[in-house]
Structure 1
Amino acid sequence: MIPKIIHYCWFGGKPKSELANNCIATWKKYLPDYQFMEWNEETFDVNINPFVKGAFEKKDWVFVADYARVWAINKYGGINLDTDMEVRKSLNEVLDSRCICGFEMIRKPFSAFFGAEANHPFVNDMQVFYDQQDEYKLVISTETFNKFLIEKYGAKPNLDEIQHLKEGITLYPSNYFSANIPVNFVVHHYEGNWIKEHKHFYSQFVNSYSIVKQFVENKNAKETIKHLIHHHKIYTPDQILDQIPLTYIVEYVKNKLLKRLKLKK
């Protein structure tokens, strides 16, 4: 079982942003009986290995935090929350597994949200990956950890749904811990420096994927869309169609017209 500990990182010494403070406030609101452990220059050894030491010297705080959060969960157990993650409801119901991860979107079974009991094999694999780096270099760790989940623990990357993997890992779909939709536990606002000028696009991309996924999985999707447009007036047809690349729309309309013309002959 995963202990009620939230690990988060704040390196660099600057005051927390308004978004970070607002997100942390949601943690305390929905997780009142959890322990919160902040990892920073004073609480974490920034010379622990060459990767972390190099990242710290270059002031690449995101990559210092990448290791610190893995190290902390491997040692103490608990859940990682980035300071741009907003909690929407209690996490108690997902603590029964030995380890939890969540899809960011299809084919990406590992996201920034994860948790585990202390000394879990998957988290240990992540820590060893960093410890084996003999110098600091830019690595997008999620790609490596996606590979671990798929090749070693049995994740099926094309099934964005709940999966029970080896070593007691529960993998949750993207509508649990990433997208900004009403039914989820955590919203990731993607303020991280690693995506910088593309952060708003990436956030919209993840959210659009989740919205489309819900419609595709809904047997009454066509009626649902009509209801949202005509009765609730939440979206306009243009707003919904804007989420789909124009080339797909043109190809779809062309095929529909050709099909109707064939039926008339």
Structure 2
Amino acid sequence: MIPKIIHYSWFSNDPIPEHIQKFIEKWRVVLPDYEIVLWDGPKLKEIDNTFANEAVSQKKWAFASDFLRFYVVYHYGGIWFDSDIEVFKSFDQFLNNRLFVAREAGTHGYGKKERWLTAHCFGAEKGHPLIEDCLSFYTDRHFIRSANTEIPINFRYEMILAPQVMALMAKKYGYDDNGFIDRDELIEEGIHIYPSYFFDSPQYRSMKNVYSIHREAGGWRPNNNQLLNYKGTNPKKGRLLHEFKILFQKLMLKFNMALIRVR
């Protein structure tokens, strides 16, 4: 069983922005009997992981937290929230899973789309093998690949993202990363994969089955007004447009073409 522990991180010496503080306070309201654990810079330094240390040295906080999420959930069990997660309902129903996560709302790639997993919001029992596999990606790996500041940033740093790491590792247990699939699925090792609207974005659906929304890196947005706002049922017009894009992409894929990125 997954323990009632919520892990999150904040490494910067800057104060946590007000709108992020509001998200965290809402966690306490919606999940009053959950322990909430902050992982900060000193705690990360004690773990002493090369990848995370190098990411922090470049002030690439998100990449340091990519390592940390897998480390803390593997060693302690519980739920990981990015600091920009807004919670709407209790997570109690997910605690009987060995591991829960959802598909991301967005897809990646051209032609055959891939759908990554919500590394910003997932939970697992202590020592779960999928989390161990994800953690192994960061073992003996360097974040800084080159000291040459003249080359593109993608060549200077190891910039593969935690959602992709998680999706790639989950394929070992039967995960289908087909970008046109967004369904409930139970695979090996008690891994329960939920549709994207559970923990990522409603994508023009009713809020009925939405447990949390990823407000998409709100930690470095200048103000809360730029965050997406979902209330009640999203506009039908937007949903129809979204579904039309998906249908159009399927047709393009049939002819080995890809013109629109669905988001």
TM-score range, shorter chain: 0.7 to 0.9
Runs of 4+ in 1 over 6 A off after TM superposition: 193-196
The alignment partner of 1:3 has SS state of: coil
Aligned match of 1:153:
173
* Pair 194,235 (structure 1): closer, same or farther in 2 beyond 3 Å: closer
Q: 1:22 to 1:133 in 2, by over 3 A?
A: same
Structure 1 match to 2:213: 187
Q: 1:195 to 1:140 in 2, by over 3 A?
A: farther
Residue of structure 1 equivalent to 2:190: 168
- State how far apart, in whole Å, the 2-side matches of 1:140 and 1:73 are: 17
Indicate conservation of the 8 Å contact 1:74/1:119, yes or no: yes
Paired residues in the alignment total 215
| Cα displacement string for residues 20-39 of structure 1 (whole angstroms, at most 9, x for unaligned residues) | 11111111111100001100
Change (3 A) 1:242 1:134: closer
Tell me what 1:110 maps to: 117
Structure 2 letter corresponding to 1:76:
Y
Counterpart for residue 259 of structure 2: none
Distance 1:97 1:87 in 2: 19
SS in 1 for 2:8: strand
Structure 1 123/194 Cα, relative in aligned 2: closer, same or farther at 3 Å? farther
Q: Which amino acid aligns with 2:174?
A: G
Q: Which runs of 5+ in 2 are unaligned?
A: 108-113, 145-157, 252-263
Amino acid paired to 1:54: E
- Whether contact under 8 Å (1:62, 1:192) holds in the other structure is no
Percent identical across equivalent pairs? 30
Secondary structure, aligned partner of 1:187: strand
Q: CA deviation at 1:157?
A: 2.6
Code of the residue aligned with 2:207 in structure 1: it is P
CA distance in 2, matches of 1:36, 1:193: 18
CA–CA separation in structure 2 for the residues paired with 1:235 and 1:155: 31
Q: Is residue 80–residue 114 contact of structure 1 (8 Å, CA) maintained in 2?
A: yes
Secondary structure, counterpart of 2:73 in structure 1: helix
Q: Which residue of 2 aligns with 1:14?
A: 14
How far apart in 1 are the matches of 2:38 and 2:24?
Answer: 11
Name the amino acid aligned to 1:122. Answer: L
- Equivalent position amino acid for 1:168 in 2: G
Q: Report the alpha carbon displacement of residue 235 of structure 1 after superposing the two structures with TM.
A: 4.7
Q: Quote how far apart the aligned CAs of 1:149 are.
A: 1.2
Cα distance between partner residues in 2 of 1:62 and 1:27: 21
**Map of 1:46-61 to 2, 5 A cutoff?**
48-61=48-61
Paired with 2:220 and 2:51, the residues of 1 have a C-alpha distance of 16
Aligned to 2:257: none
Pick the structure with more helix per residue.
1
1:190-209 pair list within 5 angstroms: 190-191=216-217
List per-residue Cα deviations over 1:158-208 (Å, max 9, x = no partner).
331111111111111111000145120001110267999xxx79x69xx9x
| Structure with greater Cα Rg | 1
Give the TM-score taking structure 2 as reference length.
Answer: 0.72
* RMSD (CA atoms): 3.0
Classify the secondary structure of the residue corresponding to 1:2.
Answer: coil
After superposition, the Cα gap between the structure-2 partners of 1:194 and 1:98, relative to the gap in structure 1 and judged at 3 Å, is: farther
Query: How far does the alpha carbon of each residue in 1:188-234 deviate from its partner, in whole angstroms, 9 at most, with x for none?
Result: 110267999xxx79x69xx9xxxxxxxxxxxxxxxxxxxx9xxxxx8
Where relative contact order (Cα < 8 A, 6+ residues apart) is larger, the structure is 2
The within-5 A match list for 1:19-38 is 19-38=19-38
SS of aligned partner of 2:137:
helix
**1:125 Cα deviation after fit:** 0.7
Counterpart AA for 1:146? A
Q: Using a 3 Å threshold, how does the CA distance of structure 1 residues 195 and 108 change in structure 2: closer, same or farther?
A: farther
Which 10-residue stretch deviates more, 51-60 or 139-148? 139-148
Pick closer, same or farther for the CA change 1:14–1:64 going to 2, 3 Å. Answer: same
